[in-house]
Structure 1
Amino acid sequence: MEIKSKIGNRIKELREVKQMSQKDLAYASDLDRSYIASVENGQRNISIVNIEKIAVALGVSLKEFFGNDKFDNDSTSS
């Protein structure tokens, strides 16, 4: 799985745990809902700045965001 999909899946996973809609997350992170959707679908290259905005909106640190076995170096391609 490529890194864009891994990040998108992680955002969706954390968002669903917090019981937030894409619209809620977009508002809380000051990003557009369609941008959130395209990131979650692995269609966008997301900047680290926007990852931080999303992590803050989800109430997790960057360490918690990336501290997941899904980010192991097994097959990270672009």
Structure 2
Amino acid sequence: MDLVQLLGQNVRAHRKARGMSQEQLALDAGMKRAYLSDLERGTRNPSIRALERLANALGVQPEDLVRRS
């Protein structure tokens, strides 16, 4: 699995663990829901800034989003 797919899986897992919809996470992270959907599917390369905003919105460290389980 490549890093972009791993990020997408981890974002989805953290989002679902917090009971958040894609719409709510996108709003909290200041991004469009379609962009978040692409990230979760591993079809879009995120910027470092997007990674940081997602981590903040999820209440995790950025490295948690790219860590293998």
Normalising to structure 2: TM-score of the pair? 0.91
How many positions carry a matched residue from both structures?
69
Bigger CA drift: 57-66 or 24-33? 57-66
Q: List alignment gaps of at least 5 residues for structure 1.
A: 72-78
Measured in 2, the distance between the counterparts of 1:65 and 1:5 equals 11
Aligned partner of residue 26 in structure 2, secondary structure = helix
Q: TM-score by structure 1 length?
A: 0.81
The alpha-carbon deviation at position 23 of structure 1 amounts to 0.1
Matched residues in 2 for 1:38 and 1:65: separation?
15
Percent of pairs identical after alignment? 32
- Give the greater-gyration-radius structure (CA): 1
- 2:19 aligned with 1:12, yes or no? no
For 1:8-62, what per-residue CA distance to the aligned partner results, in whole angstroms no more than 9, with x for missing partners?
0000000001110000000000000000000000000001110000000001122
Tell me how far apart the structure 2 counterparts of residues 33 and 62 of structure 1 sit (CA, whole Å): 19
Q: Which runs of 5+ in 2 are unaligned?
A: none
Q: What's the Cα RMSD here?
A: 1.4
Structure 1 segments of 4+ aligned residues over 4 angstroms from their partners: none
Q: Name the amino acid aligned to 1:23.
A: E
